[in-house]
Structure formats: structure tokens, C-alpha cells
């Protein structure tokens, strides 16, 4: 989710190619070169310049395919918008790396090829990770890795409250632990409930952990999840400022050393090591036990539709190179991602034991657009984060907030 927070709202309004011209700004975007020996590649990693390991890998994969790769990096939202505009103009890049929830939007707009049509195998990819890129039963991209959410915990705070983190396996056990922490003068749990996709992203493990259904936001299971968060805030087990917390500011709260738990992602591992106190990681518990499904973040390598279909064979070679086991290991280490294949996950955990709980969390995770939601997800998500805001602020009860959210989502899609 670190690299995927802002794309949904911007891209959702641009799903129809008829309206794409309004999304791309002026001047369009560079696409395929007329030179058959040059292939264009877009990604959402402007933080990696030409000297970076990532940029060098992209170039090497082009060389191995017998071509020169011209790489252009955009921010995540800009990339989605430019992809729609370039496709309308018949000027799409040969290979494109996109945020996983955007895949279904681009497929709906007729921009992406099925992996089977361009000859890219996906059989080794973990099914729940590739699920975010599957539309109509067919994968339209290959994930380069995944990140997700879990609970970081402060060992010192839990020790002072006489809480064994291994005992935190259900909602009841977690709430009991938070009360013990509060009783010894420390703070309970922090998370992000902000009114954006980040808020939905953080709420989903609790919603899904109660067996909630995104097509029926107002059922009893969803209400149980929202009531859990509401009760924590009301009891002072979570701070009021979760309403405004991004995942970054939520982490900053946890990093003060006062909180027992912080819900956050793999992208905070480097910061956790610098926090100045001993920490651990456990899976977010489902209501009645086991690991709750958390949403997957991460990007997919895709092959946009081209007028010259002869280019697909080389594009497929570039995609296969970028997503090979050997290259996934170095890429996912750089990005703090969990690899999408078990063989590379095993290599990661052998090199860094602290990744084991994250591999387990990713194994239980699911794509936000999975289960046939596709382009409906952005609409549902917006109503969901609005319901969370309404309930935690006290303007509505959890039940009435979710009832209103379900009605609005249904009306929008009818």
C-alpha cells in the first residue's frame, strides 16, 4: 500500500475511454517508439533514478530480450491517467507496471492483454496475490510482489502489562490485552481511519476478519467490525486522532514507544528497526481466531494493447525477466515486498527471519478488487471509509453508517 494509496479515486473517474482525454492533462504521454528496437516501459517508481538497481534491472531485461528499454517513471495516479489517455491515442507503452487495484479499471477500458494471449506463464504465482489482477477468470498481469498489513507490537509495553503476544489470537484477546495496557498507564493501539483509501485499506482486515462482504456492507458481520473500532475509541484503547491518521502518522504514534500495537505494513520494517525499542509482529486476528485476510498492496507488470501485435513476443520476454525468481528476490528486497512465489518467499525468510510473519500475512491476504468486484471496488471503498468516519466521529451508529453506505453504493452501481 505504500505505493498505492492515491490511485483509486483518480483512476475510477477515468474508466471510460470516452472521458479519458479529461484525465491526462495537456500534451499526452510518450508511448511506443517508431524504432522497433526500442520498447517503452512505464512504472510508478519515480524515487528510483537511472542509477538505481531497479532501473538497471529494467535495462538488463531489455538487453536480454534483444532491445533497448526506454523507461519513464510517473507517480501512481499520474501513471493511471496517462495510461488511459495513451491508449485512447493508440500510443500505449509496451510494458507497464501498475498499482494492483487499477488493473481491473484498465481491463474494463480495453487497455490490457491477458497474460495467456501474450505467452506469459503465471502458474507459479500465489493465487491470492495474482487474484487482484484476475478479471473474468483470466490474469491480466504478473505481480512483482505484495505488501500487506499486520500488527507491530512493542515488547516493552506488553511486558509491563504482562501480556503474551502469542495469546492475541482473537478480537476478545486483543481487547483484553489493550485494557491491561491501559491499566498500567500505557496506550493501546493506533491505526489509520482517515477518510481516504488508506482508511478502507486499514479497516478491511477487521471487516474481512468478521467475514464481512463488500457487496453487503450493512450485514451483521460488517457492523461487528465497525463496532469493534468504535468501542476501542470510546474506551480510550485507541486514540481519537485515528480519524485523521494516515498510515505514516499512525506509524509515528507507534514509534513514540507509548503504544502496545500499531497496524501497519511491510514498508515500515526499516523504520521499526530504528525505533529504539524491541518490537515484534503478529497477524491481525480474525474475530474468532486465526489470521484475518488483509488487503494486498503491490504492483502488476502488464502488457498494454498495441496495434502492432508482433511486439508482444518481446514484451513477454521483458515481463518474464522482471518476474523471474532470480530478479524477484532482489526487487522485492529493495521494495520491502513479499515475493509472489513460494520459492522466493523461502529465500526471503532464510535470509531474514523477521519476514516470516509477513509471509504468513500475505498468504492470508486478498486483493481488494478480487471476488469479481473489479471496477466496483472504488465506489464501495469510498462508502466504506465514509461509514468508518461517521461511526468513529459519533455522527452515526455503526449500523446506521453502514446502512447508509450500502444504500449509496447500491444506488451508484444501479
Q: 345 and 338 in contact (C-beta within 8 Å)?
A: yes
Q: What is the pLDDT of residue 1?
A: 55
Give 221-273 pLDDT, tens digit per residue: 999 999 999 999 999 999 999 999 999 999 999 999 999 999 999 989 989 99
Distances (CA, A) of 264 to 56, 146, 192, 347, 374: 30, 14, 9, 23, 25
Q: What is the pLDDT of residue 414?
A: 58
Residue 267 falls inside a structural domain: yes
Q: Are residues 272 and 324 in the same domain?
A: no
Single residue among 364, 384, 399 that ends a domain in this structure: 364
What predicted TM-score, i.e. pTM, was given to this entire model?
0.83
For 234-257, b where at least 16 C-beta lie within 10 A, e where not — what string? eeebbbeebbebebeebbebbbee
> Can you give the chain as a three-state secondary structure string?
CCCCCCHHHHHHCCCCHHHHHHCCCCCCCCCCCCCCCEEEEEECCCCCCCCCHHHHHHHHHHHHCCCEEEEEECCHHHHHHHHHHHHHCCCCCCEEEEEHHHHHHHHHCCCECCHHHHCCCCCCCCHHHHHHHEECCEECCEECCEECEEEEEEHHHHHHCCCCHHHCCCHHHHHHHHHHHHHCCCEEEECCCCCCHHHHHHHHHHHHHCCCECCECCCHHHHHHHHHHHHHHHCCCCCHHHHCCCHHHHHHHHCCCCEEEEEEEHHHHHHHHCCCCCEEEECCECCCCCECCCECECEEEECECCCCHHHHHHHHHHHHHHCCHHHHHHHHHHHCCECCCHHHHHHHHHHCHHHHHHHHHHHHCECCCCCCCHHHHHHHHHHHHHHHHHHHHCCCCHHHHHHHHHHHHHHHHC
Residue 401 falls inside a structural domain: yes
Give 156-192 pLDDT, tens digit per residue: 999 999 999 999 999 999 999 999 999 999 999 999 9
- d(C-alpha 378, C-alpha 214), whole Å: 11
Distances (CA, A) of 335 to 63, 78, 376: 23, 20, 28
Q: What is the pLDDT of residue 144?
A: 95
Contacts of 273 (CB under 8 A, 6+ apart): none
Distances (CA, A) of 172 to 165, 224, 294, 304: 13, 12, 19, 47
Residue 1 falls inside a structural domain: no
Once rounded to an integer, what is the mean pLDDT over residues 371-395? Answer: 94
Q: Are residues 117 and 226 in the same domain?
A: no
Q: Are residues 50 and 69 in the same domain?
A: yes
Q: What is the pLDDT of residue 24?
A: 32
Residue 201 falls inside a structural domain: yes
Q: Are residues 287 and 342 in the same domain?
A: no
Distances (CA, A) of 137 to 121, 173, 388: 15, 39, 32
Residue 261 falls inside a structural domain: yes
Single residue among 347, 364, 381 that ends a domain in this structure: 364
Q: Are residues 233 and 279 in the same domain?
A: yes
- The number of angstroms, rounded, from the C-alpha of 11 to the middle of its chain's C-alpha atoms is 15
CATH code where residue 400 lies: 3.40.190.10
Q: Are residues 130 and 27 in the same domain?
A: yes
Q: Are residues 135 and 273 in the same domain?
A: no
Q: Are residues 242 and 278 in the same domain?
A: yes
Query: Which of the four pLDDT bands, split at 50, 70 and 90, describes residue 4?
Result: very low
Comparison of pLDDT for 33 and 40, the residue scoring more = 40
Residue 326 falls inside a structural domain: yes
Q: What are phi and psi of 283, to 5 degrees?
A: -65, 150
Q: Are residues 272 and 385 in the same domain?
A: yes
Q: What is the pLDDT of residue 78?
A: 84
List the domain range (segments joined by +) for residue 212: 149-294+373-413
Once rounded to an integer, what is the mean pLDDT over residues 383-397? Answer: 98
Q: Are residues 169 and 238 in the same domain?
A: yes
Q: Are residues 200 and 89 in the same domain?
A: no
Q: Is the pLDDT of residue 303 over 50?
A: yes
Residue 2 falls inside a structural domain: no
Provide the number of structural domains found in the chain: 2
Q: Is the pLDDT of residue 213 over 60?
A: yes
Q: Are residues 252 and 119 in the same domain?
A: no
Average pLDDT, the chain: 89
Q: What is the pLDDT of residue 35?
A: 59
Give 61-120 pLDDT, tens digit per residue: 999 999 999 999 998 778 888 988 988 888 899 999 998 888 998 999 899 999 999 999
Residue 168 falls inside a structural domain: yes
Q: What is the pLDDT of residue 412?
A: 80
Amino acid at each position: 500500500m505504500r505505493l498505492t494509496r492515491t490511485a483509486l479515486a483518480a483512476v475510477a473517474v477515468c474508466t471510460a475511454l470516452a472521458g479519458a482525454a479529461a484525465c491526462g492533462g495537456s500534451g499526452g504521454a510518450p508511448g511506443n517508439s517508431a524504432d522497433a528496437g526500442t520498447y517503452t516501459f512505464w512504472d510508478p517508481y519515480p524515487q528510483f533514478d537511472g542509477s538505481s538497481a531497479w532501473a538497471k534491472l529494467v535495462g538488463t531485461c531489455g538487453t536480454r530480450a534483444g532491445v533497448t528499454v526506454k523507461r519513464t517513471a510517473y507517480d501512481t495516479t499520474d501513471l493511471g491517467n496517462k495510461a488511459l489517455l495513451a491508449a485512447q491515442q493508440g500510443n500505449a507503452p509496451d510494458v507497464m507496471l501498475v498499482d494492483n487495484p487499477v488493473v481491473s479499471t484498465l481491463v474494463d477500458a480495453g487497455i490490457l492483454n491477458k497474460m495467456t494471449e501474450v505467452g506469459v506463464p503465471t502458474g507459479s504465482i500465489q493465487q491470492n496475490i495474482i487474484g487482484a489482477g484476475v478479471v473474468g477468470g483470466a490474469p491480466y498481469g504478473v505481480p512483482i510482489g505484495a505488501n500487506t498489513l499486520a500488527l507491530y507490537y512493542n515488547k516493552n509495553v506488553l511486558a509491563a502489562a504482562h501480556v503474551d503476544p502469542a495469546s492475541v489470537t482473537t478480537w476478545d484477546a486483543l481487547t483484553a490485552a489493550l485494557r491491561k495496557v491501559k491499566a498500567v498507564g500505557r496506550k493501546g493501539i493506533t491505526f489509520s481511519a482517515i477518510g481516504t483509501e488508506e482508511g478502507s485499506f486499514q479497516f478491511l482486515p477487521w471487516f474481512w476478519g468478521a467475514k464481512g462482504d463488500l457487496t453487503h456492507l450493512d450485514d451483521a458481520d460488517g457492523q461487528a467490525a465497525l463496532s469493534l473500532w468504535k468501542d476501542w475509541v470510546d474506551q480510550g484503547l485507541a486514540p481519537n486522532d485515528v480519524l485523521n491518521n494516515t498510515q505514516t502518522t499512525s506509524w509515528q504514534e507507534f514509534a513514540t514507544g507509548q503504544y502496545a500495537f500499531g497496524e501497519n505494513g511491510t514498508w515500515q520494517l526499516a523504520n521499526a528497526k530504528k525505533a529504539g525499542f524491541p518490537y515484534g509482529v503478529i497477524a491481525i486476528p480474525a474475530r474468532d481466531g486465526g489470521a484475518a485476510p488483509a488487503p494486498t498492496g503491490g504492483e502488476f507488470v502488464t502488457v498494454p494493447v498495441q496495434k502492432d501485435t508482433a511486439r508482444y513476443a518481446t514484451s513477454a520476454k521483458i515481463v518474464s525477466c522482471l518476474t523471474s525468481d532470480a530478479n524477484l528476490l532482489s526487487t522485492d528486497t529493495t521494495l520491502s515486498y513479499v515475493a509472489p512465489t513460494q520459492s522466493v518467499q523461502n529465500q526471503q525468510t532464510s535470509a531474514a527471519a523477521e519476514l516470516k510473519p509477513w509471509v504468513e500475512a500475505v498468504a492470508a491476504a486478498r486483493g481488494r478488487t478480487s471476488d469479481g468486484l473489479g471496477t466496483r471496488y472504488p465506489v464501495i471503498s469510498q462508502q466504506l471509509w465514509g461509514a468508518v468516519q461517521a461511526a468513529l466521529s459519533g455522527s452515526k451508529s455503526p449500523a446506521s453508517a453502514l446502512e447508509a453506505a450500502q444504500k449509496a453504493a447500491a444506488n451508484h452501481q444501479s
